[in-house]
Amino acid sequence: MIGFLRSAFSTTLFRPFTGQPAVRTVEAARGMKVRSSVKLMCDGCNFVRRRGRLFVVRMDLEPGRPVFLDELVQQPQLHTGKTVRVTGTLHAYSPVTDRAELVDGQYLLIVDTQLLGVQQYHVGQTYQLIGEIDSVMDQVPERLFDDAKFSQQIVLRARVGKSVDGLDMAVYKKSVHAVRKFLDS
C-alpha cells in the first residue's frame, strides 16, 4: 500500500519521512530572459556576475534628477528629453493602455508604464518613477480630476518604478530643496 501511494503522488509533494520540504520553492528572475549564451546588446551594456549567474546590464542609464509634479506641469519644455525622478500618489491605472496618472496635490502627470513590465499597482499608494519626459502624447485620457492642473504636452516614459508608500512628502520636498541648494552653491 505504501509503495502504491509513493508511486501515485509526485515525489516533490509527498515526502513524509525524508525530512525534505514538501514543496520546492522556485526562484524566478523578474524581467530577465534566460538564454544559453549571452552577448552585449549595445555600447552601454556590460557583463555582470551575480549569485553565480552572468547577466547583461545596461550601465549608461542616468539615475534621474528629482523633480516635483508642479515643476513639470508649469514648465514642461524645460524638462522635455531629460531623465527625471518623480514622486506622487497613483490616482488611476489602466493595464490595457499601460497608462497611469500620478498626482501631487492639485498637479497631475500622465505616465506611460509600458517599459515597467508586469507589476501590481495600487491606487492611492505613493510611487517613485524614473524615466524620460517625452513631448509626444497619443491621446488625452478620459479620467482626470476636474480641478487638476496637468500638461497635455508631456508624458513620462517610466523605466523604473517602486512603491514608497509611507513616505512623508513634506520632509522629502524639504530634503530635495536642501540638496539642490547645496549643489547650486
Q: Tens of pLDDT along 12-70?
A: 444 455 555 544 444 444 555 666 777 777 777 778 887 788 777 776 667 788 999 88
Judge if pTM exceeds 0.75.
Answer: no
Residue-wise pLDDT tens digits, 119-155: 788 899 999 999 998 876 555 555 444 455 666 678 8
Structure confidence at residue 74 as a pLDDT band (50, 70, 90): confident
CA–CA separation, 149 and 76 (whole Å) = 12
CA–CA separation, 9 and 110 (whole Å) = 51
CA atoms within 13 A on the CB side of 119: 21
Residue 169, pLDDT above cutoff 50: yes
Residue 25, φ and ψ in degrees, nearest 5: -90, 145
* CB 162 within 8 Å of CB 128: yes
Q: Residue 42: which of 63, 64, 62, 57 has the closest Cα?
A: 57
CA 90 from centre of chain: 12
Structure confidence at residue 176 as a pLDDT band (50, 70, 90): very high
